[in-house]
Amino acid sequence: MTEPFGARLRHVMDERGPLCVGIDPHASLLTEWGLADDVSGLERFSRTVVEALCDRVAVFKPQSAFFERFGSRGVAVLEKTVQEARAGGALVLMDAKRGDIGSTMAAYAEAFLRKDSPLFSDALTVSPYLGYGSLSPAVALARESGAGLFVLALTSNPEGGEVQHAVRADGRNVGATMLAHLAAENTGEEPLGSFGAVVGATLGDLSTYDLDINGPLLAPGVGAQGATPADLPRVFGAAIRNVVPNVSRGVLRHGPDAGALRDSAERFADEIRSALPSA
């Protein structure tokens, strides 16, 4: 029986630390690396990041859009990137932010969460803003495959507030409602549930929210977006041990030199470890 994603994530975080490195081959980074903005550059970029870091980071988060923009050849590079990252010992969180209803949501889930899919990933980001229940096909397949989901709850982009801070008839806002759904999904799971939330590290004091969902909290915004590892305890409070801080440009801008990528990732990892409370 497949060990659930939450258990696998807990183990790798305890072993390697919680750092998640994004694989975001956008055009400006390819140029900074001296690579062409084409499939060859895409492949070189992705392979370099994976080979440099797969034995030391807990999670890679490839951003699907930067591969999809090259069509089928770009998706083929994404498939290879996922497979090589997982073979190297890191977990893969596919950042695709899929969200739909019924059979369409089920098809999105099958693309990334079905075990025999070429794009099978350990977890997938999803959008619940067609209603949390619309994610049911993805939740069911994730459970079956031992995979996980990260649901957009309190995102770091300023536009997110108009939806996530909207107050429902019961007096609870939408972001808090998503956290409550995830806490219910993770009830009784040990050592960690498989259904996580995306909560921006740039949001400041979140003490009015119950972040204890017994699942992981993906924290984008560390590095180039302005948050630092030292900010994490203030933002996440008692839930800090379950936070997966994501750094993308802060590490990637040091390529294409593999040693520089490793050094940058290690600096972030050290700063994150220093910010965490003693066990």
**Residue 250 belongs to some domain of the structure:** yes
The number of C-alpha atoms within 13 Å of 221 and in the hemisphere containing its C-beta is 22
Give CA separation, 157 vs 94, 106, 199, 203, in Å.
Answer: 19, 27, 10, 9
152 phi/psi in degrees, rounded to 5? -65, 120
pTM of the model: 0.97
pLDDT digits (tens, 9 = 90+) for 238-248: 999 999 999 99
Q: How many domains does the chain have?
A: 1
**Residue 279 belongs to some domain of the structure:** no
Sign of CA dihedral 51, 55, 57, 61: positive
Mean pLDDT of the chain: 96
pLDDT digits (tens, 9 = 90+) for 124-168: 999 999 999 999 999 999 999 999 999 999 999 999 999 999 999
> For residue 34, what are the domain limits?
5-274
| Domain containing residue 252: CATH number | 3.20.20.70
pLDDT digits (tens, 9 = 90+) for 85-104: 999 999 999 999 999 999 99
Q: Residue 124 is encoded by which pair of tokens? A: 């997938």
**Residue 133 belongs to some domain of the structure:** yes
pLDDT band at residue 1, thresholds of 50, 70 and 90?
A: very low
pLDDT band at residue 224, thresholds of 50, 70 and 90?
A: confident
**Residue 235 belongs to some domain of the structure:** yes
- Percent share of the chain, pLDDT over 70: 99
pLDDT digits (tens, 9 = 90+) for 102-123: 999 999 999 999 999 999 999 9
- Percent share of the chain, pLDDT over 90: 95
Q: Which residues are catalytic?
A: 97
| 190 burial type by CB count under 10 A (0-12 exposed, 13-18 middle, 19+ buried) | exposed
Residue 81 pLDDT > 60: yes
Nearest of 97, 86, 24 to residue 58 by alpha carbon: 86
